[in-house]
Structures are given as structure tokens and as C-alpha cells.
């Protein structure tokens, strides 16, 4: 069956696209649209409509063609032909019109959309820019600032907002095909011209002499280290200064430079890794045996109303699930609900949540001190104190309360899931669900598969992870699982660099400039140095290794310096502003520690620090793979990007290591 069909309906030529599931603009589809546009120039039609079958308008170019020489017609060729049509062309949008799909719509003379549709140019998320005229057309329609806000974030916007800023011309509530035909008939009756975006100029009131420099500076902070956003600014600036054809050539030059740059390869790697992770539920569903049933999670129980428990509860409430929040202490429970309310109020104040949505989410969470209220839960997650005996006792209770189909999950960061499974009658239905703090914001979820965890449980948990918009990776059981096990080696190497010659500030600066969200010592202060201290107390001497690995952080804790919460850790923090300050006393202690360890401190370069810390991560990552704890190197990359602030534009530590090796 052809992916493109064409017929005339009462003077309106209808170009129908049917290339499921996403109507991606591969070669066959481009060729079909071009043939239809060409044929329509000489037939009885007086206006044309481009419309898609299925769940969405064209959701972008086919990413599988990115590393291939495109077959003619290319997307820019098609777009030029659509705009050159002598008959008005209307794009009828539904679902998500993204990337090249939306650039195709922008080449049409008019744009109509279902009110439920979204439009976007997400190329920046792949280290690219809209390379088929998007950077030249969007500013001509909406002005410089709105164009940059739209393209540098890459986040799709609603049809209502697109109409408001000028990207769309009309909305309809239902029956898109009928609305598009009616719209076309009106244009025919009005003898409307072919309104070509390329013939417009950018509204000069949307920018001034300082606008582009200021926007670049803002992006340099907000999207630190990324090249594509800055190139988008270059292109929009070109749209304000050059004729359309010259701007188009400039856009193509910038696009090709980005396409061949390492950042795009890294971000495409991350894209495919995320896609693979999102298909986790299907993978385990396919492995479920005939006598197993995959639980459909509708009602969730969360035990513990502290920072983690409340954040986890919000994750499920945000997805429209009913949550029962259990806490044994009334004061803690009340404080937890106040915390949840404040978080939602803050989101509402920023315009990211309506009053109705906020109330719906708050009403989805039922606080209680009675654990018996979890009897009908489909999934129960404990987020109590990080103590194995306490967690085991919780699961023993749940075993006698919950329905037989209920899944049990622990939010532990380090503890043995196998030892928890030993305490229940349904070990095949017990799993780790390690959320990262703050749980309602951080996108990573480690799903820990114990030896007896079955595929039906994994399929259910991976499905609910997708429902709450988490990037979920499956880990095996070991101390720290994937993320914390590897990150502990990163911190150890940071401490070794410190005791062997670097300063606290230098290590943090080197890793920050590499692209990490924060330096390792800043992260340690934020999390609390006592957390690592307590964790080390549970380890054997063999697991701890040499005392030089942890002598300095232990010394700080024993001095009462636990990080930001006590006003001092690796840094000192102003009591009023919370501003971080370098504390020379720490370096005095570092030098004393080095002396005690018999270490002769010597200066080291930032490059050496980065190489050592990333090397520690990749070495342990390879060991984690060899031990079967991680299923793929890309899962480790996702863990570090979404859980620990590794720069996505470097592709994750494992991918980055392969690129560095290839370049040597």
C-alpha cells in the first residue's frame, strides 16, 4: 500500500499520508508528497490539504537516515516545492507535529490543527538545529524572541499556544478532515493567495541591538557547553539580517557542522538509549510465561512521609494514580502533606500547573497512619529509614495485609533486596525501586531485579515507570546497584586527587567545566557527608580499601562538618545567604591527612583530574557489566546522565570513553 494517496474532493486536492506509527518523513513518504504536489499543479483542484492518517501528523524525519546520504527528494527540496505551489496548501495537524514534520507544515501556506495537537522543533535535543528552513521561517512568523524560546528548548507546545504566538492559523475541536476541507473551501471562495512565509520579514520590534548577545549569554548559563542552542541563535540572527535564500544557506552550513560534531553523535546515542529503556515493559511482557499475570497498577501505597516518600507519592499522583501515604508518626505525616502542598503551590505559582490540576493531584494522595489501608494496593513502595531490619519488618507486615497480586518495592539506595525477599511469601513479586532525590523531579529510576523477581513483576514495574515519566533501567543486586556503586568510585577518586595534590575548589571546577552539573565535593556537601560516613561503617575493611580513600571526608564528619545542613563541609556556607565559600582550614586538614598517609602532595592539572575521575567511572562501569549488574553500557550512561548530572551532550561516561579511545 502506498504511504501517500491523492484525491480531489469538491475542488480540494487531499494529500493523505499513511506511514504508521509516526508518519516519519522517510524517502518513500517525501517522494509521494512531492509527486502529489507536482500533479496537483495541473489538475482541477483549487486548494490542497496535507493530512495524516493514524495517531499523529508527521512526527519528524526518520532518524535512521541521519547517517546516510539522503535520496532525492530531500526534505528541503520537498519543502521548497510545497511552498512554491501555485495553489494554497493547508497543513491539517493532529497528534504531534515535530521536527521535519512541523517544518513541512511551516512550508504550507496555512495551518489548521486539532486543539489537542502539539507542535515542536526538538532537534536541539539531538545536538542539531531545525535544518529544513525552520530557523528561517519561525522568526518570520513569531518574532526573534518567541522563535528562540521555541527552538532552543526543543519542547513541544500546545496548539492553543502555537495559535496565540502565530505558528498556527486556526484550531478545530474535532473532525479534522471535515474542518480542513471547510477551511480550504473558504480560502477558495475568498480567492486567498499563497501566503509564503519566506516572503515575510522578521518583526523588528521583537529584538534590539543587544538582544542576541544577551540571549547567547543566557543560553551559556542555562545550556552550558551545548553548541546547538548557540547555532540556533546564529541562524535566527541571520534571519533578521539576510534575505531568506541567504539565511537558508547559512542554516544549512550550521546544520551540517552540528551533524558532523561529537555532540550530535552523543545526544543521538542518548536518544536511542532512552528509546530502548522505554521499551523495557514490552521486553519483559514478552518474557512472561502463560501462568503469570502482569499486575495493572492503579492504586499505589507509599510507606514513609519523609522527603523521599512524599516525592514518590507525588510521582504517582502526577500520573493520575491513587496514592495511599502511610506514616506511623502523625506529626511526620502532617509535615509530609504540608511539604507536598508547598511543592504543588510552587509549581502552580510558576504557571506549570493549573489550580484544578493541583487540587486533583492533592486529592489523589490519601494520608493515613493505618497500614491496613494498603489492603487493596496494587503496588506498595517502602521509603522508610535505610535500615535492613526495619525494611524487612515492613515487608513482613505487608505480606499479611496486601492482596495476593500486590507488588512490593523497596526504595533502598544500597541495601540487599535478596535479604528483603527472604522475609516474604511472594519473593517473585518483590523488587527494588530506587528513586533519586527529589523523587518528584529527578527522571531516573533504578529497578532492582532480585534473583527471584519474575518477569511479570518487572513488566508491571517498567510499565508504571513509563506512566510516571521516569527513565527506568534494570539493575542486579549488589551494594549500591548500578548508580551508587559506580558513583562511589568517582567520589573515591575525587578524594584521592584531593589528598594527592589538588584542592577542593580545583576538583569541583574541573568537573564542572567538563560539564557535570556540580563538582563532587559540592554534591557531597549538598547530600550530607554523614550519609557516606554511615554507609562506610557498614562495609568490611576489604570493601573500604586503603584509609587514604576516605580519610578526609571522615575527618570532616568527625569535626561536625556534615555539609550544607551544618553550615560547613568541604566548603563553608554563609548562615544568611547560604553562599558557598572556600575554607582554607579544609586544606590544612588535607595536608595533615596526606602526611599521615605518607603521601607527597604535588600539583595536578584539571585535565588529569577529569581523566582520573571519568576513568574511575568507566573502569567500575566495565566491572558492573562483567558482573551482570547492568544489562548494557547505555544503561550506565542513562544512570549517570539522569541521576548524577553527567552532561548528556557527552553521551554518558561509557559512550564518552569509546569516543576518547577512538580519537587517540
pLDDT digits (tens, 9 = 90+) for 233-280: 999 999 999 999 999 999 999 999 999 999 999 999 999 999 999 888
pLDDT > 70 fraction of the chain, expressed in percent and rounded: 99
C-alpha to C-alpha distance for 239 and 246, rounded to whole angstroms: 9
For residues 648 and 265, is the Cβ–Cβ distance under 8 A? no
Check if the beta carbon of residue 447 is closer than 8 Å to that of residue 430: no
Architecture of the 483-628 domain:
Orthogonal Bundle (1.10)
| Residues paired with residue 433 on neighbouring β-strands, in sequence order | 447
When the pLDDT of each residue in the chain is averaged and rounded to a whole number, the result is 95
**Under 8 Å between Cβ of 167 and 111:** yes
Q: How far apart are CA 294 and CA 428, in angstroms?
A: 12
Give CATH 3.40.50.720 domain extents, the chain: 281-475
Q: Which residues are catalytic?
A: 103, 123
Residue 520 CA to residue 221 CA, distance in Å, equals 19
* DSSP helix/strand/coil, 623: helix
Of 50, 191, 85, 200, the residue nearest 138 (C-alpha): 200
d(CA 100, CA 594): 58
Give whole-number Cα distances, 282 to 276, 285, 475, 493, in Å.
10, 5, 17, 38
Mapped onto helix, strand or coil, the DSSP state of residue 660 is helix
> What local confidence, expressed as pLDDT, does residue 550 receive?
94
Q: What is the pLDDT of residue 598?
A: 97
Model pLDDT, residue 664: 63
Q: Where does the chain hold its CATH 1.10.1040.50 domain(s)?
A: 483-628
DSSP-H helix ranges across 364-454: 388-401, 417-421
Within 170-279, where are the H helices? 176-189, 211-222, 228-241, 244-259, 262-278
State residue 490's pLDDT score.
97
Question: Is residue 202 a contact partner of residue 140, using CB atoms and an 8 Å limit?
Answer: yes
> Does domain 4-259 correspond to CATH entry 3.90.1150.10?
no
CATH topology of domain 281-475: Rossmann fold (3.40.50)
pLDDT per residue as tens digits for the range 83-111? 999 999 999 999 999 999 999 999 999 99
Residue 660: predicted pLDDT: 85
Give the separation between CA 144 and CA 239, rounded to whole angstroms.
9
In angstroms, rounded to a whole number, what is the distance separating the alpha carbons of residues 438 and 517? 15
Distance CA 424, CA 446 (A): 22
pLDDT at position 494: 98
Query: Burial letters for 117-145: b for 16+ Cβ neighbours within 10 Å, e otherwise?
Result: bbbbbbbbbbbbbbbbbbbbbbbbbbbbe
Residues of the chain with pLDDT under 70: 1, 63, 66-67, 663-664
**Cell numbers of 367, please?**
494520608
Q: Do 88 and 47 meet the contact criterion of CB atoms below 8 Å apart?
A: yes
Q: pTM of the prediction?
A: 0.93
CATH code 3.90.226.10 region(s) in the chain: 4-259
Give the pairing type, strands 47-52 and 12-17: parallel
Sign of CA dihedral 581, 584, 585, 589: positive
CA dist., res. 570 & res. 584, Å (int): 10
Rounded Cα distance between 449 and 475, Å, is 6
DSSP-derived 3-state class of residue 120: strand
Segment (H or E) for 459: helix 455-467
Q: Which of 189, 197, 234 is nearest to 215 (CA)?
A: 234
Distance of alpha carbon 485 from alpha carbon 520, whole angstroms: 15
Q: What is the pLDDT of residue 1?
A: 60
What are the two backbone dihedrals, phi and then psi, of residue 42, each rounded to the nearest 5 degrees?
A: -125, 20
pLDDT, tens digit (0-9, with 9 covering 90-100), for 283-318: 999 998 877 889 999 999 999 999 999 999 999 999
User: Are 641 and 515 spatial neighbours (Cβ–Cβ below 8 Å)?
Assistant: no
Count CA within 13 A, CB hemisphere, residue 243.
2
- 69 vs 75: CA distance, rounded Å: 12
Using alpha carbons, list the distances in angstroms from residue 600 to 493, 550, 577.
17, 17, 37
| Distance separating alpha carbons of residues 221 and 218, to the nearest angstrom | 6
Sheet strands side by side (includes 96-98): 96-98, 118-120, 157-158
For residues 467 and 325, give the distance between their C-alpha atoms in angstroms, rounded to a whole number.
Answer: 19
Amino acid at each position: 500500500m502506498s504511504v501517500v494517496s491523492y484525491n480531489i474532493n469538491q475542488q480540494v486536492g487531499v494529500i493523505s499520508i499513511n506511514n504508521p506509527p509516526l508518519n516519519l518523513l522517510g524517502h518513500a513518504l517525501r517522494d509521494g508528497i512531492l509527486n502529489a504536489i507536482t500533479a496537483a499543479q495541473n489538475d482541477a483542484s483549487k486548494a490542497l490539504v496535507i493530512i495524516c492518517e493514524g495517531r499523529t501528523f508527521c512526527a519528524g524525519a526518520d532518524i535512521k537516515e541521519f547517517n546516510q546520504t539522503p535520496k532525492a527528494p530531500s526534505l528541503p527540496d520537498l519543502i521548497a516545492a510545497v511552498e512554491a505551489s501555485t495553489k494554497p496548501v493547508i497543513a491539517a495537524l493532529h497528534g504531534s507535529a515535530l521536527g521535519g514534520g512541523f517544518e513541512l507544515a511551516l512550508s504550507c501556506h496555512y495551518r489548521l490543527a486539532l486543539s489537542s495537537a502539539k507542535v515542536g522543533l526538538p532537534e536541539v535535543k539531538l545536538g542539531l538545529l531545525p535544518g529544513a528552513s525552520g530557523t528561517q521561517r519561525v522568526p518570520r512568523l513569531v518574532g526573534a524572541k518567541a522563535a528562540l524560546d521555541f527552538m532552543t528548548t526543543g519542547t513541544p507546545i500546545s496548539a492553543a499556544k502555537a495559535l496565540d504566538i502565530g505558528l498556527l492559523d486556526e484550531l478545530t475541536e474535532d473532525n479534522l478532515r471535515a474542518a480542513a476541507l471547510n477551511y480550504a473551501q473558504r480560502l477558495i471562495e475568498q480567492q486567498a493567495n499563497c501566503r509564503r512565509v519566506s516572503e515575510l520579514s522578521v518583526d523588528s520590534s521583537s529584538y534590539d541591538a543587544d538582544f542576541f548577545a544577551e540571549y547567547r549569554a543566557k543560553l551559556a548559563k542555562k545550556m552550558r557547553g551545548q553548541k546547538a542552542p548557540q547555532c540556533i541563535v546564529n541562524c535566527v540572527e541571520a534571519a533578521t539580517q539576510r534575505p531568506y535564500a541567504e539565511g537558508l544557506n547559512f542554516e544549512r552550513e550550521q546544520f551540517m557542522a552540528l551533524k558532523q560534531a561529537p555532540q550530535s553523535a552523543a545526544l543521538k546515542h542518548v536518544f536511542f538509549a532512552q528509546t530502548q529503556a522505554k521499551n523495557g515493559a514490552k521486553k519483559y511482557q514478552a518474557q512472561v510465561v502463560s501462568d503469570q499475570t502482569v499486575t495493572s497498577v492503579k492504586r499505589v501505597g507509599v510507606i514513609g512521609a519523609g522527603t523521599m516518600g512524599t516525592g514518590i507519592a507525588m510521582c504517582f499522583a502526577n500520573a493520575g494514580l491513587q496514592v495511599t501515604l502511610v506514616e506511623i508518626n502523625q506529626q511526620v505525616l502532617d509535615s509530609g502533606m504540608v511539604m507536598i502542598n508547598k511543592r504543588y503551590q510552587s509549581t502552580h505559582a510558576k504557571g506549570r500547573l493549573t489550580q484544578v490540576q493541583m487540587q486533583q493531584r492533592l486529592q489523589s494522595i490519601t494520608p493515613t497512619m493505618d497500614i491496613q489501608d494498603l489492603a487493596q494496593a496494587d503496588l506498595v513502595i517502602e521509603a522508610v529509614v535505610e535500615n535492613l531490619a526495619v525494611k524487612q519488618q515492613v515487608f513482613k507486615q505487608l505480606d499479611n495485609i496486601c492482596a495476593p497480586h500486590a507488588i512490593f518495592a523497596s526504595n533502598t539506595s544500597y541495601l540487599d533486596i535478596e535479604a528483603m525477599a527472604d522475609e516474604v511469601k511472594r519473593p517473585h513479586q518483590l523488587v527494588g525501586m530506587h528513586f533519586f532525590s527529589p523523587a518528584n523531579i529527578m527522571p531516573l529510576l533504578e529497578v532492582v531485579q532480585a534473583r527471584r523477581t519474575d518477569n511479570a513483576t518487572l513488566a508491571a514495574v517498567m510499565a508504571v515507570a513509563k506512566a510516571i515519566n521516569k527513565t527506568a533501567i534494570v539493575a542486579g543486586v549488589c551494594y549500591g546497584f548500578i548508580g551508587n556503586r559506580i558513583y562511589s568510585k568517582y567520589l573515591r577518586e575525587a578524594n584521592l586527587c584531593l589528598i594527592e595534590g589538588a584542592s577542593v575548589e580545583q576538583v569541583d571546577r574541573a568537573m564542572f567545566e567538563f560539564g557535570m552539573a556540580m563538582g563532587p565535593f559540592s554534591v557531597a556537601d549538598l547530600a550530607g557527608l554523614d550519609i557516606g560516613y554511615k554507609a562506610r561503617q557498614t562495609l568490611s575493611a576489604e570493601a573500604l580499601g586503603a584509609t587514604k580513600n576516605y580519610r578526609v571526608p571522615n575527618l570532616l564528619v568527625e569535626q561536625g562538618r556534615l555539609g550544607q545542613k551544618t553550615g560547613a563541609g568541604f566548603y563553608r556556607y554563609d548562615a544568611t545567604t547560604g553562599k558557598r565559600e572556600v575554607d582554607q582550614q579544609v586544606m590544612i586538614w588535607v595536608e595533615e591527612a596526606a602526611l599521615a598517609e605518607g603521601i607527597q602532595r604535588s600539583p595536578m592539572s584539571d585535565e588529569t583530574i577529569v581523566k582520573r575521575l571519568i576513568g574511575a567511572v568507566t573502569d567500575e562501569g566495565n566491572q558492573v557489566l562483567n558482573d551482570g549488574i547492568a544489562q548494557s553500557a547505555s544503561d550506565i550512561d542513562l544512570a549517570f546522565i539522569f541521576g548524577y548530572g553527567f552532561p548528556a551532550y557527552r553521551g554518558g561516561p561509557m559512550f564518552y570513553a569509546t569516543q576518547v579511545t577512538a580519537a587517540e
